[in-house]
Amino acid sequence: MVYHPWREGSLKLLYGSAFRAPSVYERYYAAPPNIANPALHPETIRTYEAVWEQGFGVRRSVSVSYFQSRIANLIDQESLPDGSIQYVNKDKVRSEGMELYGKTDLTKDMSGHLGYTIQSTRVSGGDRMSNSPTHTAKLGLSRRSARGKARVSAEGFLISSRTTFQGGSLPPAAVLNLNVRVQPWWEGLTVYGGVFNVLDAAYSASGAAENAQADIPQDGRNFNVGLEYRFGRPYEKP
């Protein structure tokens, strides 16, 4: 449901539901230390969200949202007392939180955006889900050339501490990425490149049940370069 109480302001009330059937791997993989579980049930999710969006002319907008998700029969790995591993249906999982987001044109050729999310994800009994941060934030800036043929973007991400599958703790982490897109003389051709984790920050993700280590180091500074070619002319309405 969408309601516009006045110009440039809108209230959205959203609801969705979905399910995921267990895969063949999750049901029948049985190489030690894994144990098959053909009795797995599909997991289901219901989501509720309320969103307020407010524009301030064509250059600025902000949004505030509250969301809640309820998952039943979550399919996840579990370590058994004998050291074996099995996919099981867990009890209900509940996640709720709020998100703030804003974007603005700083100049004719430069724009920026800022987002922040706080959420809590817990299983029945109150235990916190592993690898699920309470706080996440992002900040981005983008600038295009005067002729619009090139664009440079920088975006930083911040995540708070998380718990590991084994019950330990991962420290907060921050990552900065840079991207460049250039449209040279050849119509339809785009050259792009990027640097991920510019500052070569050390951070990790939680290991799973089959991993010996509690935390798995993620990629340091790395680069990518590519070409993209679009055939034909852009569609124009008659």
In degrees to the nearest 10, what's the CA dihedral of 67, 165, 29, 33?
A: -170
pLDDT tens digits for 159-176? 999 988 887 899 999 999
Q: In a 3-state reduction of DSSP, which class is residue 54?
A: strand
- pLDDT score of 164: 87
pLDDT level of residue 237 (50, 70, 90 thresholds) = low
pLDDT tens digits for 174-222? 999 999 999 887 788 899 999 999 999 999 988 877 777 888 899 999 9
pLDDT tens digits for 44-100? 999 999 999 999 988 999 999 999 999 999 998 888 888 899 999 988 999 999 999
**Cβ proximity of 127 and 120 under 8 Å:** no
Tell whether the model's pLDDT for residue 236 goes beyond 90: no
> Hey, which residues does 9 pair with through a beta bridge?
6, 54
- pLDDT score of 125: 77
Mean of pLDDT values over 140-165:
92
Q: Which of 44 and 123 is assigned the larger pLDDT? A: 44
State both tokens at 74: 């979550």
Give the neighbor-by-neighbor strand order of the sheet with 85-90: 34-35, 85-90, 74-79
- pLDDT score of 170: 92
pTM: 0.83
- pLDDT score of 102: 98
Q: Which of 18 and 232 is assigned the larger pLDDT? A: 18
Tell whether the model's pLDDT for residue 156 goes beyond 80: yes
Judged by average pLDDT, the poorest of 37-41, 99-103, 210-214 is 210-214
- pLDDT score of 178: 98
